[in-house]
Chain A
Amino acid sequence: MSMNLILLIVLALVAAWLYSVYVGVIQKKNKVKEAFASIDVQLKKRYDLIPNILVTANKFMEHETALIQDITKLRTEAINKASDFSNMHDKIKLESELQAKLGQLFVSVENYPQLKSDQTMVQAMQTFAEVEEHIAAARRFYNAAVLDLNNAVEIYPSSMFASSMGLTTLPYFEITDEKERAPINASEYFTAK
């Protein structure tokens, strides 16, 4: 009798433990969804800000028409791209390209003193900097959540539940352009041409 009771208790404990592992995987998956959604919220703020910047820039930056058109095109593509895990890689690539183009635009602003001192542009750039900081924070949250989920997907016993739920490892939100990773050679910038 007592042997049966002990066996029952052990089985109950094992079942409870397995259930907690299963719940853990679900929680990690939901956290990634929450983090992904928070990036979307921040990205939307960026998309809303871009037209204000481009309208002001267009008035002064006659030689940057191509860059402005590229940014407009990328923004439209980014807005139209649905936010879900199936096209995560494409979305990350698109956002990296858009960020790079906007970076180029702000560097070019330096060549237009009138634009640089325009109050609307100054305010837009400050707001943009704030938005970018929030996007960076949202990315960090997303990457932390993905790390937890990836660990759960790859490490036994949670990997058992993950594979039965069809979960796979997810990509991090990171720099995809190898040029941006390369160390900067300052002499390239200061050499007179």
Chain B
Amino acid sequence: MLATTEEANEYRNKFHKYYYERIAPLLQEFEIFRNKQMLKYKTYQSLAIISAIIVIGLAAFFILTSPQIPLQNNLYLIKTVIFGVVIVCLFLGLAGNIPISFNQKVKEAIINTFLEFFGNFEWHSGEKFSAEELNYYNLFDYVKTSSSGYDSDYFEGQYKNLKIIISEALLINEDVPIFDGVLVQIELNKNFNAHTIIVEKCLTSIDSGLFWENVGKIELEDTEFNKCFKVFSDNQVEARYILTPSMMERFKNLKETFKTTGIRAAFRDKSLLIAIPSNENLFEVCDFKKPVTDTGQIRELFEQFLAILSLVDILHLNSKTGL
């Protein structure tokens, strides 16, 4: 159980031991590779800087030696600048690609070992939720595309006998991002006849105002909960069946745990979809600019996973009396 600090600390201690037994040996092999890649990276960066200096120098030379020719007619100048920009961009592109491909290689090598600690989770690259699926939950204003051109990951597995999908997501509508963060879908042990949406109050003024009003606003008894969240549902009884006094308390705890604003959740059919905003690039196993054996990044990845799995414990989703 990860709902209390003591339980979470115990989990952390177990992971600490697991890291040194299983993950650290794998990472050590990559440190030599990282050093070689870092040399290549710095070489390309240096070549880009040198190229830029040469181009600027040549451009200055052509301008100063032919002051009578207007700049737009100075063919040597124009050709030099175009060639120079292409070369500089090429070197910068080559340099920029190195950290991305390195991080991806390391992730592919160790992520499954990392996930073994949590049970039977699998890692996949790419997006999990389609725009149609997200629009079905009606948790966002109309989603046109999901994670377009976005370096995202998702994880599928079981925790406490509940099927869970955790996915990074960047949702876009009319070329405007409407959500950037993590989507967590949990398959529950009950079927819901209604569609119930819970959103933080700060969101209802930002998103198109009437969007959720069509579903029907529900006023609940917990005044503290009502200060933080708004509830919409097409069935008054079902909404109260889900949002018991203890469940409302747990949602308040959720907000405290993630320390973010804009949390939203939807219950529909047999599942719960929770959207947690985040500006960071999540689920990364290493930082190219730091030694691979630096535990900081892995620790951060662990904490991200811990926070998400603790959703099940905080909301008591696996217990029959929880819902």
Tell me the A residues contacting B by CB distance below 8 Å. Answer: 34-35, 38, 42, 126, 129, 133-134, 136-138, 140-141, 144
> What 14 new A-B contacts, CB under 8 Å, besides A137-B240, A140-B240, A144-B221?
A34-B236, A35-B236, A38-B237, A42-B237, A133-B241, A133-B244, A134-B237, A136-B244, A137-B241, A137-B244, A138-B240, A141-B236, A141-B240, A144-B220
Given contacts A35-B236, A38-B236, contact A144 B241 (CB under 8 A): no
Q: Which residues of B in the span 207-245 have a Cβ within 8 Å of any Cβ on A?
A: 219-221, 236-241, 244
| 0/1 string, B236-263, CB within 8 A of A gives 1 | 1111110010000000000000000000
User: Once the chains bind, are B238 and A137 in contact (CB under 8 Å)?
Assistant: yes
For B241, the chain A residues whose CB sits under 8 A away are 133-134, 136-137
Q: Taking each of B219, B220, B221, B240, which has the highest tally of chain A beta carbons within 10 Å of its own beta carbon?
A: B240
Number of chain B residues whose Cβ lies closer than 8 Å to a Cβ of chain A: 11
For A136, the chain B residues whose CB sits under 8 A away are 241, 244
Tell me the minimal C-beta distance from A128 to chain B in angstroms.
13
| 0/1 string, B158-189, CB within 8 A of A gives 1 | 00000000000000000000000000000000
Tell me the minimal C-beta distance from A33 to chain B in angstroms.
13
- Cα A34 to Cα B236 in complex, Å, equals 10
User: Once the chains bind, are B237 and A137 in contact (CB under 8 Å)?
Assistant: yes
- Cα A34 to Cα B240 in complex, Å, equals 15
- Cα A77 to Cα B221 in complex, Å, equals 32
- Cα A156 to Cα B240 in complex, Å, equals 30
> What are 26 pairs between A and B in contact, CB < 8 Å?
A34-B236, A35-B236, A42-B237, A126-B320, A129-B320, A133-B241, A133-B244, A134-B237, A136-B241, A136-B244, A137-B237, A137-B238, A137-B239, A137-B240, A137-B241, A137-B244, A138-B237, A138-B240, A140-B221, A140-B240, A141-B236, A141-B237, A141-B240, A144-B219, A144-B220, A144-B221
For A129, the chain B residues whose CB sits under 8 A away are 320
**Top 6 A-B pairs ranked by shortest CB distance?**
A137-B240, A137-B241, A141-B236, A140-B240, A138-B237, A137-B237
For A126, the chain B residues whose CB sits under 8 A away are 320
Tell me the minimal C-beta distance from B160 to chain A in angstroms.
19
- Cα A109 to Cα B230 in complex, Å, equals 42
- Cα A134 to Cα B239 in complex, Å, equals 10
Tell me the minimal C-beta distance from B237 to chain A in angstroms.
5
- Cα A138 to Cα B244 in complex, Å, equals 12
For B237, the chain A residues whose CB sits under 8 A away are 38, 42, 134, 137-138, 141
- Cα A134 to Cα B236 in complex, Å, equals 11
